[in-house]
Each structure stands twice: as C-alpha cells, then as structure tokens.
C-alpha cells in the first residue's frame, strides 16, 4: 500500500482494539498490557533504533516507552490514534537521550577517532556484487539520516520507515502540517547532497 493512499478499514479496527486494550490497562490488566507491548514493540524498537543507531540504549529506551504507557494508563484519553500517542512518548524519550548525548559530547575530552580508526578501503579492489552495493547504499542512507537535526530525522523516520501521514507526523512532533512538509523538504535536500555520489553513479 502506498503511504499516500487512505488507510484501509482494518486500520481503524486495529486502533479500536488498541484503545480497548489500553482501557483495560488503565484498570490494571497486565495481560492487556503485555498484548499491547507485543502488538507495538517492533514499531517502537524500530523507531528508536533508527533515531539512536543500533546500540545498547535502544532496548533501554524502548522499555522506558512502555513503562511510560503503563504509568500513564489511568490518564489516557483516546483523542488521537493509539500509535500516534505511543510515538509521541517515543519521541520525547528519544529526544531526551539525544540531548543527553549532546551534553556529554560537549563535556568529553575524548577526540573523535571513529572515522580515523576505520581501515582505508582499496577502491581499486574487485568490484563488489549487487548485494554488497545495496548494503553499502543502505548504510550510507542510514548514516546520512543519522546526521540530520533531531526533528528532521524524526520526521524522515516516521515518513520513510513508519509510513505515517503528514497529519500524524504533525501530531507526534507538535508541528503544523506545513511545518512538517518544510522539515521533510529540508531533510531530503540535505540527504540528496550527502548521497550525491550514489545518485549520480
């Protein structure tokens, strides 16, 4: 299904089930909570991993998201889709972690050696096969997305990977729809510049 097509009827059924489970969670139903986690763990973990990179914090932050869901259950009001509410919690925790890292990086005296420690590849080596080229491109795309400002990065992740509408992204980011479109335009412009050598080859 194209991200621009309207959601099928099943999507509203899924949200109704999420809301039903969440109302049970608000009454202390742990089985309903476990079912909600099972339904949406992949969405949360995937979003966190694409925002933070695959590292030790991903599992911890993802667990914190569901802890927040449990603690907020009694105050939950289904004004928006459950997944929109869930991803807003995810956004808050991810942004907190990114800002914590930024503060840590500013106070750290350790030099940035990651790039310099990587072995230099011989570009004249035997041409890699299509699978390796595809993997290299995917890694380049992920690296370019990781260098975007946090709000642009979140907008790209929600649009490209989670396939959300502009309206849903605007709700999650507390932005207007035109602001979201502007964020995505700037992000895509930056990504095209960073990936130019792949696009022109």
Residue 173's domain is classified under what CATH number? 1.10.10.10
For tokens 């449990």, the residue is 70
Supply the pLDDT for residue 145: 92
**From its phi and psi, is residue 177 left (phi > 0), alpha (psi between -120 and 50) or beta?**
alpha
Supply the pLDDT for residue 107: 57
Task: Report the C-alpha gap between 12 and 92 in whole angstroms.
Answer: 25
In the chain, the number of structural domains is 2
| pTM for the whole structure | 0.79
Residues spanned by the domain of 52: 8-107
**pLDDT tens-place values along the chain, 201 residues long:** 444 444 444 568 999 999 999 999 999 999 999 999 999 999 999 999 999 987 778 999 999 999 999 999 999 999 889 999 999 999 999 999 999 888 876 655 444 444 444 444 444 444 556 777 778 888 888 889 999 999 999 999 999 999 999 999 999 999 999 999 999 999 999 999 988 888 765
Task: Report the C-alpha gap between 44 and 63 in whole angstroms.
Answer: 9
Residue 124 forms part of a structural domain? no
Q: Tokens for 56? A: 């030790």
For tokens 């590292």, the residue is 55
Q: Tokens for 103? A: 């503060």
Provide the CATH number for the domain around residue 78.
Answer: 1.10.1740.10
| Residue 144 vs residues 66, 120, 130, 140: alpha-carbon distances, Å | 29, 20, 21, 6
């Amino acid at each position: 299904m194209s991200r621009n097509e309207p959601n099928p009827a099943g999507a509203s059924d899924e949200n109704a089930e999420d809301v039903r489970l969440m109302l049970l969670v608000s009454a202390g139903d742990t089985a309903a909570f476990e079912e909600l986690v099972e339904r949406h763990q992949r969405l949360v973990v995937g979003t966190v991993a694409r925002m933070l990179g695959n590292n030790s914090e991903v599992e911890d932050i993802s667990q914190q998201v569901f802890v927040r869901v449990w603690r907020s259950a009694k105050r939950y009001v289904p004004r928006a889709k459950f997944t929109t509410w869930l991803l807003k919690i995810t956004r808050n925790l991810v942004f907190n972690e990114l800002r914590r890292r930024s503060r840590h990086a500013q106070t750290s005296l350790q030099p940035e050696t990651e790039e310099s420690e990587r072995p230099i590849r011989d570009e004249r080596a035997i041409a890699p096969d299509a699978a390796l080229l595809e993997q290299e491109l995917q890694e380049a795309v992920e690296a370019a997305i990781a260098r975007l400002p946090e709000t642009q990065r979140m907008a790209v992740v929600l649009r490209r990977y989670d396939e959300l509408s502009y309206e849903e992204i605007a709700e999650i980011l507390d932005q207007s729809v035109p602001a979201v479109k502007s964020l995505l335009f700037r992000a895509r412009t930056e990504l095209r510049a960073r990936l130019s050598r792949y696009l022109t080859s």
